[in-house]
Structure 1
Amino acid sequence: MSISICGVVILYNPNIDKVIQNISSYLDEIELLYVIDNSIKDNSIFFVYNKKIKYIFNYENLGISKALNIACKLAVERKFKWILTMDQDSSFKQGDLNKMIDLSKNVSEDVFIISPEYLPYQLKEIPEFEYAKWAITSGQLLNLKFFKKLGLFNEDYFIDQVDFEYSLRGRRAGFKIIKSNLIILNHELGYPQQIKIPFLKKRITTSNHNALRKYYFIRNFLYLKQEYKKNFPQLFKEESYMLFKIILKTIFLEKDKKNKINMMLKGYFDFKRGVKGKYVEK
């Protein structure tokens, strides 16, 4: 039994050779791929000759949420059942997407997202799949019947926490997320850097995102917490601790810390002022 599945990958000033390599890891397993390009430069020349790819150039950075909405609305119009959402820096090992697609044929009717794992498990014995608290955008299969029920991705968030907001919106409505533990997505989380801390005798890993991403992360996390803390109190207790660790790593371990700290403060104060959407330099 086959299912009707398309995909979307969102571009932003990419390394085109790497993007094409990543796309080739999953293009054969889907019927159509929407390439939504938020770049400064039109990259259509690299995609127009492939009949399985629909290239859309936005002329500016409209954000991840807007790009996802463009693709999902087109997919609904074409009556696709599922959409695979991918980042430009992500890829699958050969055959892994097919395993996720096979899983989608057997899940219960209340499952709205199927996601891969992003970090290999260290345990010897793990379940093949499990219910998850949320899923990141890259590598997930979204059942489009739930897109029609839940509505658009929140464009107020622009680029950060977009996926988490949608995950929690779906869970609050009673729908479920399944994570396939045996499928590992090749995915770059920021610009990871390992820093040796002599007095701790260990290395600490920091994502090392740029200052603008720090702004969006702080601002949008606070909006997320404001909206969903009552529904998921334990989750936000854990994530608030993670936020605290990220702030400490930024202050003590990362480069360009003055600029990053300044942008995190702007994120906090913009949340307090109710500022949403794309960041505008004042």
Structure 2
Amino acid sequence: MISAIVVSYNPELCSFMELLRRLILQVDSLIIVDNSQRESNDAFDFMVQSGIDQDRVALIRLGDNRGIAAALNVGIVVALQDGAEFVLLSDQDSLPAEDMVPKLLEAYEALVERGEDVGAVGPTFTDLHTGLTYPFQAQLPGHFFYGHQAATSEAPHVEALTLITSGALIPAHVLHDVGPMREDFFIDQVDIEWCHRARSKGYRLFGTGWARMYQRMGEAHLRVWYLRWRHESAYSPLRIYYRLRNFVALWRLDFIGWRWKVRNSWYWLGIVYAHAFFGKKDRVKCFLYAIKGVWHGLRGKMGRLE
């Protein structure tokens, strides 16, 4: 039995409904955990429930934005109580291929058959903003720091250091062993912390080229000069705050290797550089929120920014 958990927050209904329609055809049950700050919304209820099998859908309203980690944990508890053998995680900005879940399960079974202790399997994803298809973070032979590796027809399953939340298929026994998502991270890098925690317990994570997903990374994209023109995901000042704060929190975790931390620091410096110099708006605010995020991370001030 596979249960999908979708976390929503004021979603754009047309794309959200397409996500739900695709998922309900591929899983046994669908749990929607809504973080929107509203009492009720008949139009939202109608859109969520129309055109899909309502007997296999649960809609849980939290009534406030408690963050993606808390919402995922609520959904995971319900799924496991209902007897799910696998949990598929998703945010509202994803569009899975019509065969994504069966292909993820097929990849999982193939990996287990060859003797792997699989903690999670994730699809290859393409950013809908930039059109870029991303490889997986991987520790490549001969590389001191991690690199990136794309799945190929000859090697369709890549052992990954981390997987993004959306599209991750996780066995129930792994969730019981590794534990819930860290709710004090609120909305960013929740997946990264959980992935490193799972790996520290001996599980291996895999990205597969057999399964495909389309994802909206960030709110838009930026054209950035770094030795050449590149496209990077764009984020609001608030998202910059959470991303920098939570990255500093990751630095403080002993089960994450220092080489990953050093390599990833370069990436986050690049994010600040891109938004401070090439942002389409709020450049100064992005920079100030980045500084605030680092300061709060150093102080251990976590949770929702009030």
TM-score, normalisation: structure 1: 0.91
Contact kept? 1:48, 1:54, Cα under 8 Å: no
Gaps of 5+ in 1: none
1:211 to 237, 246, 270: 237
- Could you give the per-residue CA deviations for residues 26-78 of structure 1, whole angstroms, max 9, x where no partner exists? 21110100000001233333334622210011111010000110011111111
- Quote the offset at 1:193 in angstroms: 2.3
TM-score, normalised via structure 2 length: 0.84
Aligned to 1:268: 294
Query: Is residue 272 of structure 2 the alignment partner of residue 247 of structure 1?
Result: yes
Letter matched to residue 16 of structure 1: L
Number of equivalent positions:
274
Find the aligned partners of 1:149 and 1:256 in 2 and give their Cα distance.
42
Residue-by-residue CA offset, 1:126-177 (whole Å, 9 max, x unaligned):
5111210011100110111111111111011010010000000000111110
Contact 2:2–2:87 (Cα < 8 Å) also in 1? yes
Change over 3 Å in CA distance of 1:125–1:149 after alignment to 2: closer
* Cα distance in 2 between the residues matched to 1:95 and 1:123: 17
Counterpart secondary structure, 1:55 = strand
Mean Cα displacement is larger for which, 4-13 or 88-97?
88-97
Mapped to 1, the partners of 2:273 and 2:222 lie a distance apart of 15
Q: Report the aligned-residue RMSD.
A: 2.0
Note closer, same or farther for the CA distance 1:32–1:178 as it changes in structure 2 (3 Å cut): same
Check whether the contact 2:151–2:158 (CA below 8 A) recurs between aligned residues.
no
Q: Structure 1 pair 179/60, CA: closer, same or farther in 2 (3 Å)?
A: same
Q: Which runs of structure 2 are paired with 1:1-282 in the superposition (5 Å)?
A: 4-41=1-38, 42=40, 43-48=44-49, 50-108=54-112, 110-119=117-126, 120=133, 127-195=155-223, 197=225, 202-228=228-254, 231-254=256-279, 255-280=281-306
Listed one character per residue, the Cα deviations across residues 237-262 of structure 1 (whole Å, up to 9, x for unaligned) are 22111111111111111121111111
Preserved contact between residue 93 and residue 216 of structure 2 (Cα < 8 Å): yes
Could you tell me which runs of 5 or more consecutive residues in structure 2 were left unpaired when the two chains were aligned: 127-132, 136-149
Percent identity between matched residues is 24
In the aligned structure 1, how far is the partner of 2:182 from the partner of 2:298?
19
Q: CA shift at 1:269, angstroms?
A: 1.4
